[in-house]
Amino acid sequence: MARLLYKLGLFSARKAWLVITAWLILLGTAVGLMANFSGKLSSSMSIEGIESQLVIDRLQESFPEASRGQGQVVFHKPEAGFTDQEKSVISQELAKLEDIDGVAAVIDPFATAEEIADQRQEVIDGEKKLADARLELVDGEKELASGRAKLLDGKDEIESGLAKIESGQEEINKNKAELETQRKDLEGKLAQVEAGIAQLTQAGAPQEQLAPLIANQKALLGGLAQIAQGEKQIAAAQAELDAGKREIAAARSEITSGEQELIDAEQKIADGYKEIEKGEADLAVAKRLLAVTENFGTISENGLTAIATIQFDLPVNQLEPATTDAVVAAMKELRSETMQVEFSQALTTDFGELLGIGEIVGLVIAAIVLFVMLGARFDDRSWSSSAVSGSWCGYFCQHHHGPLRRH
């Protein structure tokens, strides 16, 4: 290999102009073919069929937002915070960026900060509402327990009332039967006495014989009058007993209605606890999201710096330069003596073409070095000058032309 390289170098040194001419012809041919047939150069690379590329393609299909490129615009005020008017102007200009072709969305730092603050306040309010709701449910359970106790007392009173009514009904029935027996007995005796009086009267018996029978008749009639009075009292007692039955029936209906109300109240309390559990789960998710964004902010703590994010439809290295140029130009209009506007590398680095001024400069320097080396003798001096030239070219290209940035 060393002998082959030596022969190649010796031939190149002896036929320097021929080699240089051939090199320039090949270079021109390659550049011409590239310019006319290769299409647009891009720094992005994909290899179809490999697992990693398949994963990237699936992510772009399922989560297109994840593959979007983005850049940041930094607004800074060295002396004082942003006024309401400045915030309004910045927000309006950021909103206009969405009209630029290739811009998918713009994240306003002030609106985002306000949303995060509102979400934190919502979490605090949600915790308070859940605590209040739990206290209300506890109070409801206490009222429910009190209602159950009252229903039990009402049932006991109804049972006691029913027992009294049954006992009263038995007593009324007993008294009624006794009065009926007494009435029949007195009516029978009265019939006998009246029959005796009628016989004696027809027989012409003296008044002295009729007097005892007449006295018995009066006594029997008095007994029947007392029985009639007793029947009236029994009827009044029966009416009062019937009224008590109706009251008990109404009380029983109220208890049935109360039991249904208790069942409904129990269901409401159970539903309330389910809602609280759901609210606590949602609140836990919100807390986790806030915990993730705890160290995230679009405005600095001192309020002097704000960062806006511009999301694009494509990855940054696939964007047209006109898209990022339009974003930068629009935001530069906001620069003033009191406010600085700077841009992230994604907005200022040109990913559009691989052959730029830096590459051309490098090719020219390489051609000069090749020309010098092929025209020199292969001695120690030539190798030393080659090393020095190569080191100088690498340093120059690294620190002065790469990566090339737009300002």
pTM of the model: 0.49
In 3D space, the residue among 72, 68, 263, 62 whose CA is nearest the CA of residue 151 turns out to be 263
Eight-class DSSP state of 334: T
Beta bridge partners of 306: 75, 299
Residue 74 is predicted with a pLDDT of 93
Q: What is the pLDDT along the chain (407 residues), one digit of tens a residue?
A: 778 887 777 887 788 788 888 888 988 888 777 767 655 555 555 566 677 667 767 766 766 666 678 889 999 988 888 888 988 999 999 999 889 888 888 889 988 888 888 888 888 888 888 888 889 888 988 988 888 898 899 889 889 988 988 999 999 999 989 999 998 998 999 899 889 888 888 888 888 888 888 899 899 899 989 999 999 999 999 999 999 889 989 988 988 888 898 899 889 999 988 988 888 888 888 878 777 666 667 888 888 899 999 888 888 777 788 888 899 998 888 888 888 999 988 888 765 444 556 666 676 777 676 666 655 444 444 444 444 444 444 444 444 444 434 43
Cα–Cα distances in angstroms (integers) from residue 344 to residues 90, 100, 259, in the given order: 17, 18, 70
Cα-only R_g, the chain:
56
Contact 307, 74 (CB under 8 A): yes
Residue 233 is predicted with a pLDDT of 92
Cα–Cα distances in angstroms (integers) from residue 223 to residues 182, 183, 208, 286, in the given order: 9, 8, 24, 92
Residue 173 is predicted with a pLDDT of 92
In 3D space, the residue among 242, 246, 238 whose CA is nearest the CA of residue 158 turns out to be 246
Contact 308, 346 (CB under 8 A): no
What's the gap between Cα 247 and its chain centre?
54
Which strands sit side by side in the sheet containing 70-76, from one edge to the other? 103-107, 305-312, 70-76, 340-343
Domains in the chain, start-ordered, CATH in brackets? 2-41+353-400 (no CATH), 117-292 (1.10.287)
Contact 323, 11 (CB under 8 A): no
Tokens of 211: 């007097």
Strands (E), 9-102: 70-76
Residue 144 is predicted with a pLDDT of 87
Which 3 state secondary structure label does DSSP give 72? strand
The two counts, helices (H) then strands (E), for the chain are 10, 4
What's the gap between Cα 228 and its chain centre?
82
Residue 63 is predicted with a pLDDT of 64
Q: Which amino acid is at 392?
A: W
Contact 341, 74 (CB under 8 A): yes
Residue 243 is predicted with a pLDDT of 92
Q: What is the largest CA-CA distance in the chain?
A: 194
Eight-class DSSP state of 204: T
